[in-house]
Amino acid sequence: MNCKKEAVELMHKYLDGDLTKAEEAGLIQHLETCEDCQKHFHELKRTITWIQSTGQITAPSNFTQNVMAKLPKEKKRVSYMRWFKAHPVLTAAAIFFIFMFSGVFSAYNHDSQLIVSKQDDLIIKGDTVVVPEGVTVAGDLVVKNGDLRIDGTVDGNVTLINGKLLDNSIEGEGLMASVGEVNGKIEQVDQVFEWMWYHLRNIFESIFSVDNK
Amino acid sequence: MEFMIKEKIKQVKKGDQAAFEDVVAFYQNKIYQHCYRMLGNVHEAEDIAQEAFVRAYVNIHSYDDKRKFSTWLYRIATNLTIDRIRKRKPDYYLDAEIKGADGLDMYSQLETDSPLPEEEVESLELKSYIHHEISELPPKYRTIIILRYLEDFSLKEISDILDIPLGTVKTRIHRGREALRKKLRHV
């Protein structure tokens, strides 16, 4: 075997793991007889061991931050999306509130029609609902987006949404005296929050009334 | 880990910059080390390693998901280091006269071809001596020796990183090993 060419070539193939069984046997046989090649082989292996023994080094401590600072700015949209993904509960809560408020507001703002609870004997003049004298309205009376004048009697609660309770006696015999008889509570709602509060209370009341029965 | 990185890369491709932070944190030591071994200088190594990550981020859309991300990243880093080595201005010229040394030029400062005396070698720390010898190799051999023996890549992976045929990688690693063997045989 030619030391300079063949044997050294085989050594490198061995180091790269490319040696076939037959070639390996040939190399071993040659190394046993040739001292120069043995030395050469030993030096190669020692060199590799030495290369591999050089120490590990680590990047400077603020390396990552420095890289991040050098990057071009990302799009705004993406950072918002990431925030939403990172805070799912807050996002859900925010969406819930948006829907809830928009629902309440639209219900409050868009229903500007006059709505009166269905009872006989009520007189409607334009935007004003009148309980005529000598008439007794049975049950709760609800007037929405309109004023109410009570000359007669209401046998139940009165709720006014977005409207006023009109005083029919301008002469003023005292505030309450002018109002017809109401055998229940009078309630006026004309603020958004009161409107919401009224709704929420209604919900609770309906829940509890079921329990009571 | 490979899977985690793949997921992060997907997010980065969608434009999520923060996901890239984890990628940098994961590879920073490897890439910094690679640059340091190639350049032999901490300042240049930090500079080039940072540049490599920035390039990777900017060009993330040209990265093919089916291939290994580390291979792609090492290719960017290696190309940048080789560019830097080529652009380096020589620090000194051999013909320049040394200040304050009458008539002596840099030729007189060159080491002789004869092997260093044993005492001198022993005074150098072996590791830094080896490191120095690796950094003296021509870049095309140095790159492969570093990737193979210090960063543990297979020859196939090295051929992917450097985008050169496997046969060329083998030829170069043989020559690199022989060159180092000759330098280190007297130690």
Higher pLDDT, A68 or A130: A68
- The top-scoring range by mean pLDDT among A146-155, A201-210, B146-155 is B146-155
Q: Is the pLDDT of residue B51 over 90?
A: yes
- pLDDT for B80: 93
Contacting residues for A25 by C-beta, under 8 A, at least 6 apart: none
List of long-range contacts for A188-197, beta carbons under 8 Å, 24+ apart: A188/A160, A188/A163, A188/A164, A189/A159, A189/A160, A189/A161, A189/A162, A190/A160, A190/A161, A190/A162, A190/A163, A192/A104, A192/A105, A192/A108, A195/A104, A195/A108, A195/A161, A195/A162, A196/A104
Alpha helices in chain B (DSSP H): 2-13, 17-39, 42-58, 69-87, 118-123, 126-136, 139-145, 155-162, 166-184
**Gap between the Cα atoms of A57 and B31, Å rounded:** 11
Q: Is the pLDDT of residue A175 over 50?
A: no
Q: Is the pLDDT of residue B24 over 60?
A: yes
Nearest CA in chain B to A39: B185
Pick B33's closest partner by Cβ from A53, A57, A82.
Answer: A57
What average pLDDT does chain B have?
Answer: 82
Contacting residues for B96 by C-beta, under 8 A, at least 6 apart: B105, B106
Q: CB–CB of A82 and B16 under 8 A?
A: yes
> What percentage of chain A carries pLDDT values higher than 70?
81
- pLDDT for B73: 93
Substitution target in B34, B80, B129, B130 with the highest count of A β-carbons within 10 Å is B130
For A3-30, write each residue's pLDDT tens digit. 767 888 888 888 888 888 888 888 888 8
How far does CA B40 lie from the centroid of its chain?
A: 8
**Gap between the Cα atoms of B31 and A71, Å rounded:** 17
Q: Count contacts between A and B (CB, < 8 Å).
A: 102
> What percentage of chain B carries pLDDT values higher than 70?
80
- pLDDT for A172: 42
Give how far A51 is from chain B: nearest CA, Å.
Answer: 7
For B105-123, write each residue's pLDDT tens digit. 655 555 555 555 555 555 4
A9-18, A139-148, A175-184, A198-207 — which is least confidently predicted?
Answer: A175-184
Substitution target in A14, A52, A68, A83 with the highest count of B β-carbons within 10 Å is A68
Contacting residues for A68 by C-beta, under 8 A, at least 6 apart: B17, B20, B21, B24
Higher pLDDT, B14 or B92: B14
Q: CB–CB of A56 and B33 under 8 A?
A: yes
Q: Among candidates A210, A158, A200, which has minimal Cα distance to A179?
A: A158
Q: Is the pLDDT of residue B151 over 90?
A: no
Could you give the strand order of the β-sheet that contains A123-125, starting from the edge strand earlier in sequence? A123-125, A128-131, A147-150, A165-166
Pick A60's closest partner by Cβ from B46, B58, B180.
Answer: B46
Could you give the strand order of the β-sheet that contains A181-182, starting from the edge strand earlier in sequence? A136-138, A153-155, A181-182
Interface contact A55, partner B, CB < 8 A: yes
> What percentage of chain A carries pLDDT values higher than 90?
0
Pick A47's closest partner by Cβ from B21, B131, B181.
Answer: B181
Interface contact A3, partner B, CB < 8 A: no
For A73-82, write each residue's pLDDT tens digit. 766 666 677 7
As for the ipTM of the complex, it is 0.70
Nearest CA in chain A to B51: A67
Q: CB–CB of B170 and A74 under 8 A?
A: no
**Gap between the Cα atoms of A95 and B23, Å rounded:** 33
For A81-118, write each residue's pLDDT tens digit. 777 777 888 888 888 888 888 877 776 665 566 777 77
Neighbours of B162 (CB within 10 A): 21
Give the containing element (helix H, strand E) for A134: none
For A129-160, write each residue's pLDDT tens digit. 887 777 777 777 787 777 888 777 777 788 87
